[in-house]
Structures are given as structure tokens and as C-alpha cells.
Amino acid sequence: MLTYEPGDSFAHRLDPRAKLAVQIGFATAGLAHTTPLGLTLLGVVAAVSLRVSETSLLSSLYSLRFAVPFLVLAPVVEAVSLGAPWVDPTAAVDPALASIRILLVFLVAAAYVRTTPVRDSRAAIQRLVPGRLGVALGMGVALVFRFLPLLRRDLLRVREAQAARLGTERRLDERLALVAAGGLRRAFARADSLALALRARCFAWNPTLPDLQFSRRDVPVLVVACVLVVSVAV
């Protein structure tokens, strides 16, 4: 799973609000531009995002390995029919473009996650959304980024424990039930620990967050975000 990794790339030094603006603009443009030409241009933006963030394309695709088969199979399923002509390649065009669009949005998001600390993401959201709503959204994003890797690690540990106890000899439905039950128990235990930790630290609505400040290197990034949004209207 992709997580934040400290580094000194160009994207690491950007203000998280500028990177969020690119995220929003790219996702909006991806929904609007569904032609091969539009997706090609968006692909260039995605490639540049991976380059400036020093994010590996292969590692990003590997973290999406559970969704990639569905993105690949969707055009195939749409092209195959139960009657003549059996295979219609033209029917696979739109699903293929949609799969490419989803993949490109994910790659840009991967570049953001790898180069942005959780605290910076929370601070950016709370500065963009005023009031307690922004605090709640920022806290929610922080918990998601911190919790998902832990839950994934817990599930892997449950699977390893089952394998050590010859759990692989059981039926598939039994293995799934055991892993799911173990994962839920660990998730609830972590949630209880989190609640206790928040109370012990006197969780408040005005936490001390890192200072954010735009710099000259953020200007071209904000220009790209504006161009992406304007391209939707044009």
C-alpha cells in the first residue's frame, strides 16, 4: 500500500494545498474529457506527476493490483455477447476509456500520497474548509491515512497465523470467515485504543498543525490546476 515516504523531490517541497488543487482539477478534467486525445493529455500530466514526485509506476500499479483485473476485464465483458456477432470491439471502447481514466486519477493520487505527510494533508483541509466541518474532515482524512496501513497489516498477520496453523487446508469460505472475523476484532480493538488515546490527549477542535505557506515553486502547479479546471468549462 502506498504511504508517505520522506524525500527531497520537487513534489515533496510543494504546499499541500497546491497539490490538492491539482488533484481536484485532474479528477474534474478526467470526468469531462473522455476522448482518446483528452486522456492522452491527461496521461502526460499523470506521467509528469509521477516524475516530479519520484514515484515508481510499477509500485503504484502493484498497490492497485486488486482493482487492475476489474479495470482490464470490464472492456472484455462489455465486448462479448451471448449472440451474434459474439464479439463487438466497438462496445469495449467506452469501458476501456473509463478504465484508463480511473487508472490515471489513481496515479496522480499516488504521487500525492507518497509526497505529503498526513499532518500536512490535515492542515491543508482545515485551512480550505473553515469551522468545525474542516476540523472533522481533516481528522477523518488523517485517520484514514493512518488506519488503512494498520488494518492491512493486521489482516496479513491473521492470514499468516492461519497458514501457520494449517488454515490453508480449510475450505475457501471458512478461510475467508476466519480472516474477516480476525480482521474485524483487530479493527475494533484499534478503534477502542484510538478513542482512549484521544481522550488521554484531551482531543480538541483547535489542534496545533504545521504552518503552510505558498512559495514560488507552487505557482506553476496552481497554474496547471487552473488550466485543468478551465479545460472542463471550455
Q: What confidence tens digit (pLDDT) does each residue in 34-55 have?
A: 888 888 999 999 999 999 999 8
pLDDT of residue 47: 93
CA atoms within 13 A on the CB side of 35: 4
What are the φ and ψ backbone dihedral angles of 87, each rounded to 5 degrees?
-130, 125
pTM of the predicted protein model: 0.72
Q: Which residue has the cell 488506519?
A: 147
Domain boundaries, given as residue ranges, for the chain: 16-117+212-233, 132-200
3-state secondary structure 176-222: HHHHHHHHHHHHHHHHHHHHHHHHHCCCCCCCCCCCCCCCCCHHHHH
Q: Which residue has the cell 498477520?
A: 157
> Which residues does residue 80 pair with via DSSP β-bridges, in sequence order?
87
Q: Which residue has the cell 502506498?
A: 2
* Residue 43 near residue 101, CB atoms below 8 Å: no
C-alpha cell at 137: 474532515
pLDDT of residue 203: 64
* Residue 42 near residue 22, CB atoms below 8 Å: no
Q: Which residue has the cell 474485524?
A: 184
List, in sequence order, the alpha helices (H) in 64-130: 68-79, 93-115, 118-128
Go through the chain and tell me how many residues it has.
234
How many helices and strands in the chain, by DSSP H and E? 9, 0
pLDDT of residue 1: 58
pLDDT of residue 202: 65
What integer is the mean pLDDT of 204-223? 80
CA atoms within 13 A on the CB side of 117: 12
Q: What is the pLDDT of residues 161-177, one digit of tens each?
A: 877 877 777 777 777 77
